Amino acid sequence: MVTVPVVPTFVEKDLSLRVKVGDACGLTCTFCHNEGVPVTSDNRNLLISPIKESAPIWKDGGKSGRRSIYSQKNGVNFLSDLVEPDDEFVAALNMIREVFGTTEIHLTGGEPTLHPRVAEIVRVATENGFVVGMTSNGENPKAIPSSAAMGLDRVNFSIFGTTPQELAEVQNEKFRNEKLAAVKLRSLARSIDAALSNGVKASANIVVLNHDHIPRVHRLLEQYSSELSVRLLNSLDDGQASIDAINQIFADLNAKPVANYVTAGVSGARTVYELPDKRRIQFKKIRTVRLPDTCQGCSLNNPIDCQEGYYGMRLYKSMGGGYIVGICIQRMDLAMPVVEFVNSLQCQEVLDFREQEYKQLNAAK
């Protein structure tokens, strides 16, 4: 009789906050959601006040060539601005921490390394007791050492291709240039090296669409040292074909699951696999998670229109002033100023849901 080893499950509370620190980006990926807001550089002339009562008709795929796939229909009524490392930013973080016990902020964009003061943002956040992570495409390697010196804890590098051809294929057709893609990949490699050499934990996030993408995962594992943590993400649009491809990668590597991690209160979950040489790879998954009230009456509340579910809170700096909290990039009409949010029924719903899920998931272990 073969004994199947029991894989332990660990339940964590969601104590994180995604912060969109800026909107600039040098890539034009066709699938980008840009945290639910329009591309600022293409839409500046459409908005002069901090927030409008109704959403303008935003430009998509404008001069920049960039996309924001939900902004035409998600009701977003503001443009994002650069976060500044000032008292207003700290006050916004502290208001959310007071309610949710937030311990970590995760910098996003756009591309956060293009923010001219990203290292100062890291410093301000760490000085106020937050652990700081970042999601980056590695465009600006020079920003990594200075951010590391200010306390940057880790960077999740989004890798959309391991060859110039692969990266070019997912760009706007006007910018589908393999020479440019090669430049971007060299910058990515330098950024990863900069993170590892400056004591910053680095992981590679790579979406696996189907079996055709298996070779690039193997190339990635061969290209980078064991210090780089690889996280495989299944493509929601590609369904079971994506999951089957990831399972094939683990089979090819003779990798075995050693731990499951579930984050209570949001849709995030991951399984850690160990290779024979003890290197570990994570399979980052999306659970079907819905807020009990907000999501219940939503027209998108079905497996086709909403596959991500409730992913967590996002903080934005609105052009013209003020910080805004959003809880769904497909329903940006629900976003509200942070002062209003922390006193709202929506805020209490998110908090109650996290606490309830934490108890339920622990009881089910």
Structure confidence by residue, pLDDT tens digits, 215-267:
888 887 887 767 788 889 887 667 788 889 999 999 999 999 999 999 999 99
pLDDT of residue 309: 85
Q: Is-contact 35 108, C-beta < 8 A?
A: yes
DSSP secondary structure letter of residue 8: P
Provide mean pLDDT across the span 42-54. 67
pLDDT of residue 52: 54
Q: Is 7 a member of any domain?
A: no
Q: Residue 124: which pLDDT band, with cuts at 50, 70 and 90?
A: very high
Q: Name the more confident of 174 and 97.
A: 97
- Encode pLDDT of 162-219 as tens digits: 889 989 998 999 999 999 999 999 999 999 999 999 999 999 888 887 888 888 888 8
DSSP secondary structure letter of residue 310: -
* Residue 5: pLDDT over 70: no
* Residue 320: pLDDT over 90: no
pLDDT of residue 225: 64
272 φ, ψ to 5°?
-95, 130
Q: Is 130 a member of any domain?
A: yes
Residues spanned by the domain of 113: 14-364
Q: Is 175 a member of any domain?
A: yes
Q: Is 6 a member of any domain?
A: no
pLDDT of residue 101: 97
**Stated pTM of the model:** 0.92
CATH number of residue 278's parent domain: 3.20.20.70
A 10 A CB-CB count for 339 gives 14
CA atoms of 190 and 318, how far apart (whole Å): 32
Q: Is 5 a member of any domain?
A: no
User: What 3-state class would DSSP assign to 284?
Assistant: strand
CA atoms of 323 and 117, how far apart (whole Å): 18
Write the Ramachandran bin of 274: left for phi over 0, alpha for psi from -120 to 50, otherwise beta: beta
* Residue 304: pLDDT over 90: no
Number of domains in the chain: 1
Q: Is 1 a member of any domain?
A: no
Q: Is 3 a member of any domain?
A: no
Q: Which residues contact 212 (CB under 8 A, 6 or more apart)?
A: none
CA atoms of 14 and 147, how far apart (whole Å): 24
Ranges of beta strands (E only) in the chain are 9-13, 16-20, 104-108, 131-136, 154-158, 201-208, 229-234, 256-264, 268-274, 280-286, 314-317, 323-326, 336-337
Question: H or E element: which one contains 47?
Answer: none
Q: Is-contact 115 22, C-beta < 8 A?
A: yes
Q: What is the mean pLDDT of the chain?
A: 91
The pLDDT > 70 percentage for the chain reads 95
Report which of 334, 360, 356 is spatially closest to residue 347, judged by C-alpha positions. Answer: 334
pLDDT of residue 132: 98
Provide mean pLDDT across the span 93-118. 98
State both tokens at 52.
């409008």
Q: Which ranges of 198-326 does DSSP label H, i.e. alpha helix? A: 214-223, 239-252
CA atoms of 207 and 20, how far apart (whole Å): 21
CA atoms of 190 and 296, how far apart (whole Å): 45
Q: Which ranges of 38-177 does DSSP label H, i.e. alpha helix? A: 40-43, 87-100, 118-127, 143-149, 164-169
The pLDDT > 90 percentage for the chain reads 71
Q: Is 279 a member of any domain?
A: yes
- Encode pLDDT of 8-30 as tens digits: 999 999 999 999 999 999 999 98
Q: Which residues contact 335 (CB under 8 A, 6 or more apart)?
A: 76, 78, 316, 324, 325, 326, 327
